[in-house]
Amino acid sequence: MIDELGQFALVLGFYLSLAQVALSFAGRARRDTILAGAGEGAALGAFACMALAFAALIHAFVVSDFSVMNVAANSHTEKPMLYKVAGAWGSHEGSILLWCVALTGYGAAVALSRGLPFGLKALTVAVQGCLGSLFVGYMLFASNPLARIAIPPVEGRSLNPLLQDPALAAHPPFLYAGYVGFSVVFSLAAAALIEGRVDAAWARWVRPWALAAWSLLTVGITLGSFWAYYELGWGGWWFWDPVENASFMPWLLGTALLHSAIVTEKRGGFPAWTAFLGMGCFTLSMLGAFLVRSGVLTSVHAFAVDPKRGILLLGILAMAAGAGFALFAWRAPRLKDPTTFAPISRESALFVNNIILSAVTVTVLLGTLYPLLKEAVTGEAVSVGPPFFNLTFVPLMVAAFVILPAGPLLAWKRGDAMAAIQRLIPAALIAIAAGVLALALVSPRKALASCGVGIGAWLIAGALDEVADRVRLGRAPLAEVGRRASGLPRGAWGMTLAHIGLGVFVMGAAFETAWKVEAAEVRPIGGVVALGDFRLTLQDVGPAPGPNYDAEHARIRVEGPGGALACLAEPERRTYDSGGQTTSEVAICARGADDIYVVLGDRRVGPGGTPQWLIRAYWNPWARFLFLGPILMALGGALSLSDRRLRFGVARRKAATAPSGLAPEPAE
C-alpha cells in the first residue's frame, strides 16, 4: 500500500511540476498574481509529492520489501539499518529520486521566498518547474525507483559493500544539495535574461543561493574524498578520476560565480559574466549526472548500464543547457557593463580570478572528456591522469593563489598597488619563512613542495592581513580595534575563514603529496615492516565476524623513533556474505596532523606453510589539513550565509545601475 502511495506521489508530482511551469509563465505573461501564486502552490505540492515518494522508498528498504525491484537489487535482510536507509539513494533509481527531491525542494524554497520582484520570481519558479518536469519525467518513465517485480525474490542482492560506509551514506545528500542548489542560480539567470534585468539587485539574490550550493557541495566533495581515503585502501585522497572531476568542475565555476556576483552587486559590473557562470554551474552539475549515471564510466558510482537511459540524460542536458545558453546568446548584446575601472583595482583582480577559474574548469573538462570522446570516435582507449592535471591545473591555480590576497586590499574602480604591496609585506615574510623552513628542516629537500607550503602560508597570512587592515590593527587603540572587529559583518569573517581554509588545504596537499612514505611487505606473525622512522610489528590475525560479513582482524603494533608505542593499528579484510565481495578496512593512527595508514592485504603461504599477510602502510604527513581546510571553507560559506545582508532587505535596495531591459516592477 505504501509503495502504491509512493507511485501515485511520483505521478502527481510530475503533473504538478508541469502545472508549476504553465501557471507561473501564465501569471507572468498576464501579470496575474493569482495565477503566479497557483504556480507557487504547485511548486510546494511537487516537493511534497517527491518527499512522500522518497519516504515510501526508504520504508521499502527498511522493511526489506523485495517486491520493489530497486530494493531487491540493492538491499539484503542482514544489512545494518543505516545502510538499508542509505540504500535508498545508493542505486541509480534512488539517486535520481534524491536529485528530484532536492530539485523540487529548491523550487519550493524559491516559491516561499519573499522580496523578489513579481516578474522575476514568477519566471524563476517557472524555469525551476521546467527543470523539475524534465528530471521527474525521466525518473517516472525511464528510471522508476518504485517499480515492482512480478515474482519477488526471497533475498536481495545487497548494496555494493564499498558503499556501506557512514561517510558515503552522508556524501550523496550533501553532494546533491550542492549540485541541485545551482539550479536556482540557473533559474534566476534565465528569468533575469527573459526580463532583461541582470543588475545589482538581481545579483544580490543570486549570491545567497550560490553560496549555499557552494558550501554544501564543498562538504559533499570532502566527504567523498575522505571516504576514498580511508575506505578504498590505496592511501590517497584524490586521483583526478572522472567521477571526482564531475563534482569538482561545478565547484570551480561556482567559486568564480561567487566572486563575479560580488562585482555585479557592488558595482553593477560583469553582468554577462555572472549570468553565464550561473548557467554554467548547473550545466556542469547536469553533465556530472550524465557522466556518472549514463554508463560511460566504470566506477562504484556509475550505477546505470542501460545506454537508453544515458541517451535520455544527455537529451535532458542538451535541452536545458541549450535553452539556457540560447537565451544568453539572445540577451548578451544587451548586457552592457556600465562600470569602468583601472588595471589596478578590485574589479581587475576579480576579473583575473574569473579568467583563471574558468580556464581551470575548461582544463579539467577537457581532461575528463577527451578519453571518452576519443574512445567513442576511434575506439582507442586512452587515459588522462594526474601528470596531465599537475602540468595544467597546478600552474594556473598557483597564479590565482598568488593574486588572491591582494584583491580585497585594492579599492573599487582604482586601487593603489604600492599600498596593497606594503600591507602584504608581513604576509609575504611569513610565506617566505614557511617555505624556507620547510626546505631547510624537512628531508629530503624538495623546492617545489616547499614553495607549496609557502603559498599556503601566504593565503592564510594574507587573509589575516586583510582583517588586520580593516580593523586598523597596530594603527589604532585596542578599544577601537575591538569595536571595529565586532562591527565587521559576518560575510567578511566568512570570507576570511574560507580563504584560511584554502591555505590550510594547500599546505596539506603540498606537504602530504611530496613527503609521504610508503611500504608494502609480506610478513608472518611477529614480522616487522619499516615505514620511515616507524616500525610496524604484526602481532596477531584472527577472525572477526560482522553483521553481514566475515573478517580477518589484524593487530599491528606501531612504534615510533626510540621504540615508543605510537598506536595499535587494527585493520581488517572483510568478505561479505552476499556476493562474496572482499574489501579492506583501513586502520588510521592520527599523530597530530599526520596519519599512519595501515592496510591488511591478502593471506599467503610462506616457507614451511607458515601463513603470511601483505601489509601495506603509508605515513601521510599533514593529511589532516587536507580535510580540515575544506571544512573551514564550508564553515566560512555558512558564516557568510548567516549575514543578514544576504537574507533581508533585498527588495528595499535599489540597483546600483539602471536595468538593461524592462523597467523594474514593484516588489511583492
Q: What is the pLDDT of residues 28-39, one digit of tens each?
A: 999 999 999 999
What are the C-alpha distances in Å from 255 to residues 249, 339, 396? 10, 22, 15
Strand partners, 588: 597
pLDDT at residue 230, rounded to an integer: 87
Q: What is the pLDDT of residues 398-421, one digit of tens each?
A: 999 999 999 999 999 999 999 999
pLDDT at residue 302, rounded to an integer: 46
Q: Which helix (H) or strand (E) holds 195?
A: helix 166-195
Q: What is the pLDDT of residues 573-614, one digit of tens each?
A: 999 877 678 888 999 999 999 999 999 999 999 888 899 999
pLDDT at residue 659, rounded to an integer: 39
| DSSP string across 49-67 | HHHHHHHHHHHHHHTT-TT
Q: How confident is the model at residue 666 (pLDDT cuts 50, 70, 90)?
A: very low
Radius of gyration of the chain (CA): 27
pLDDT at residue 339, rounded to an integer: 83
Cell of 290: 550524465
Q: What is the pLDDT of residues 81-115, one digit of tens each?
A: 988 998 899 888 999 999 999 999 999 999 999 88
pLDDT at residue 501, rounded to an integer: 98
Residue 496 pLDDT > 80, yes or no?
Answer: yes
Closest CA to 232 of 215, 244, 249, 248: 244
What are the C-alpha distances in Å from 379 to residues 20, 369, 421? 44, 14, 53
> Which residue type does 528 have?
V
Q: What is the pLDDT of residues 218-245, one digit of tens each?
A: 999 999 999 889 888 788 899 898 889 9
- 659 compared with 178, residue with greater pLDDT: 178
Work out the percent of the chain whose per-residue pLDDT is above 70. Answer: 94
pLDDT at residue 333, rounded to an integer: 87
Average pLDDT over residues 248-253: 97
pLDDT at residue 547, rounded to an integer: 83
Q: What is the pLDDT of residues 334-373, one digit of tens each?
A: 888 888 899 999 999 999 999 999 999 999 999 999 988 8
Q: Which CATH number fits domain 517-620: 3.90.1200, 2.60.98, 1.10.390, 3.30.70?
A: 2.60.98
The C-alpha atoms of residue 388 and residue 393 are separated, in whole angstroms, by 8
| Residue with the three cell numbers 579484510 | 573
Closest CA to 405 of 468, 343, 491, 362: 468
pLDDT at residue 279, rounded to an integer: 97
- Cis status, amide bond into 666, omega within 30 of 0: no
Q: Which of 54-68, 130-144, 187-201, 222-236 has the lowest mean pLDDT?
A: 222-236
Q: How confident is the model at residue 275 (pLDDT cuts 50, 70, 90)?
A: very high
Q: Where are the domains of the chain?
A: 1-159, 165-400, 424-515, 517-620
pLDDT at residue 168, rounded to an integer: 78
Residue-averaged pLDDT of the chain: 90
Q: What is the pLDDT of residues 546-556, one digit of tens each?
A: 887 889 999 99
The C-alpha atoms of residue 116 and residue 125 are separated, in whole angstroms, by 11
